[in-house]
């Protein structure tokens, strides 16, 4: 029997919305006691007044197995996640080939269990090959362990196919995750439309494309009654529709990637391709609006939207460069920027990073309560550093935060009470 006592900690409880000094006891991988008194037996871990919180549950991580293992493997992604305080990765099915059948799903599950030091829960494609023409065998994939169904950044343009998939998913209680975007308007876009895009001569898309895509999806959710999650809501124009859908009782949640919360369209500057994302970075007014939406709970989940791209994919003219950025190791310090700027409370931030994604997927993690798994992160919220992308543990190091001053370092990460990282 393994008995651990974390003492002298600032314990973040996202469920209660509190941060309190105290100690925590872990027995055989499960939290068994939370107390203000330090116990006298077991292995003692002095937290030295640092924050102790549930490990981050990162919804929407891309691991490039099968097909592009040179960009990211389960071993490298797992190491990066552990170093970033991520104890559970919810992985995307946009691999080569796509994870659209039980055999491929079983392969990646086996690879993850063999190689990753953190929990890995895979999602599966909603349609075969992510082509939007024929839905996958949702029931069989659920039996094989799929946590949710998504075609990732590909919009299912055929509303009949999408509505049938939503109806079938509802009958099985499956969660569908979609990318709200009007696909014709956004095709080929590299940045958000506006004066800056015009000055740079880059193909752009209006932020209204996101609103149009969300409006369509909301109508289909209302028609089918399905469980739905919008992977990224990044514009102020989409927020009233989201708020109205929630008020009307639809089973809808929304997420946002950390880069859209902490960067804006001007960061593209002189065609810096590490800042090319999908959807593209938005105006500062949009960024402020979505930060406020996270603080109020309108946007439920913050994720890294970890998307590894190799140097050859990024060292191209801006229009031709691949979209996406890595984020497993930078998610925590980037999110703490919002805390240090007094834009969001730390306990509220942790609700979006850990509790809400776990709840949405029906996982027992993300909680700091007796009986919850001891998936924990110990971190110093104020430790300053300059990010050097060469130190990242991902195989691909396409981070827009390279060279930036940041605050917040992970000191230790535990999965089921087992230390998987020490910083």
> CA-CA distance, 60 to 103, in Å (whole number)?
21
Q: pLDDT value at position 328?
A: 98
Q: pLDDT value at position 2?
A: 83
> CA-CA distance, 93 to 185, in Å (whole number)?
25
Tell me the backbone φ, ψ of residue 213, rounded to 5 degrees: -65, -40
Q: pLDDT value at position 18?
A: 97
The residue among 182, 145, 104 whose CA lies nearest residue 363 is: 145
Q: pLDDT value at position 317?
A: 95
> CA-CA distance, 357 to 39, in Å (whole number)?
32
- The Cβ-side half-sphere exposure at 408, using a 13 Å CA radius, reads 22
Stated as kind and residue range, the H or E segment containing 15 is none
Q: pLDDT value at position 205?
A: 96
The residue among 295, 299, 302 whose CA lies nearest residue 334 is: 302
> CA-CA distance, 87 to 299, in Å (whole number)?
22
The per-residue pLDDT for range 99-137, each reduced to its tens digit, is: 999 999 999 999 999 999 999 999 999 999 999 999 999
Q: pLDDT value at position 42?
A: 80
For β-strands 51-54 and 56-61, DSSP reports them as: unpaired
For every residue of 329-398, DSSP letters joined together read TTHHHHHHHHHHTTSS-HHHHHIIIIIHHHHHTT-S-S--STTSB--EEEEEEEEEEE--GGG--SS---
The residue among 21, 32, 29 whose CA lies nearest residue 2 is: 29
For β-strands 18-27 and 56-61, DSSP reports them as: unpaired
Q: pLDDT value at position 41?
A: 72
Judge if pTM exceeds 0.85: yes
* DSSP code, position 17: T
Q: How would you class 206 by CB atoms within 10 Å of its CB: exposed for 0-12, middle for 13-18, buried for 19 or more?
A: middle
Low-confidence ranges of the chain (pLDDT < 70): 1, 36-40
Tell me the backbone φ, ψ of residue 401, rounded to 5 degrees: -90, 5
Q: pLDDT value at position 38?
A: 64
Going from the N-terminus, what domains does the chain have, and what CATH number goes with each? 55-360 (3.20.20.140)
> CA-CA distance, 165 to 148, in Å (whole number)?
12
Scan for tokens 């990242």, then name that residue: 392
């Amino acid at each position: 029997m393994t008995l651990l006592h974390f003492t002298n900690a600032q314990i973040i409880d996202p469920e209660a919305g509190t941060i309190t000094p105290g100690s925590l006891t872990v027995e055989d991988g499960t939290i068994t006691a939370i107390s203000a008194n330090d116990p006298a037996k077991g292995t003692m871990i002095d937290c030295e007044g640092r924050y102790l919180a549930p490990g981050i549950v990162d919804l929407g991580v891309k691991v490039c197995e099968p097909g592009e293992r040179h960009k990211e493997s389960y071993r490298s992604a797992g190491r990066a996640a552990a170093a970033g305080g991520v104890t559970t990765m919810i992985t995307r099915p946009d691999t080569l080939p796509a994870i659209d059948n039980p055999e491929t799903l079983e392969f990646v599950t086996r690879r993850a269990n063999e190689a990753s030091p953190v929990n890995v829960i895979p999602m599966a494609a909603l349609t075969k090959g992510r082509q939007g023409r024929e839905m996958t065998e949702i029931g069989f994939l659920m039996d094989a362990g799929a946590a949710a169904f998504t075609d990732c950044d590909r919009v299912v343009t055929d509303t009949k196919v999408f509505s049938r998939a939503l109806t079938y998913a509802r009958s099985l209680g499956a969660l569908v995750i979609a990318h709200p975007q009007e696909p014709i308007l956004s095709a080929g876009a590299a940045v958000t439309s506006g004066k800056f895009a015009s000055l740079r001569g880059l193909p752009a898309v209006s932020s209204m494309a996101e609103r149009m895509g969300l409006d369509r999806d909301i109508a289909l959710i209302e028609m089918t009654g399905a469980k739905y999650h919008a992977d990224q809501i990044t514009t102020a124009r989409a927020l009233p529709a989201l708020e109205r859908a929630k008020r009307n009782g639809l089973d809808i949640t929304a997420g946002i990637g950390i880069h859209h919360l902490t960067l804006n369209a001007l960061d593209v500057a002189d065609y810096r391709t590490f800042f090319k994302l999908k959807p593209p970075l938005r105006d500062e007014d949009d960024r402020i609006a979505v930060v406020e939406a996270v603080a109020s709970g309108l946007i439920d989940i913050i994720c890294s939207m970890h998307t590894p791209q190799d140097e050859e994919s990024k060292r191209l003219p801006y229009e031709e460069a691949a979209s996406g950025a890595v984020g497993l190791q930078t998610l925590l310090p980037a999110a703490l920027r919002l805390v240090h700027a007094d834009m969001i409370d730390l306990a509220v931030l942790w609700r979006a990073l850990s509790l809400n994604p776990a709840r949405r997927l029906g996982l027992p993690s993300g909680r700091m309560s007796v009986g919850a798994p001891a998936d924990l992160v110990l971190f110093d919220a104020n430790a300053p550093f300059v990010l050097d992308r060469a130190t990242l543990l991902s195989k691909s190091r396409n981070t827009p935060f390279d060279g930036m001053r940041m605050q917040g370092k992970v000191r230790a990460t535990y999965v089921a009470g087992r230390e998987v990282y020490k910083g």
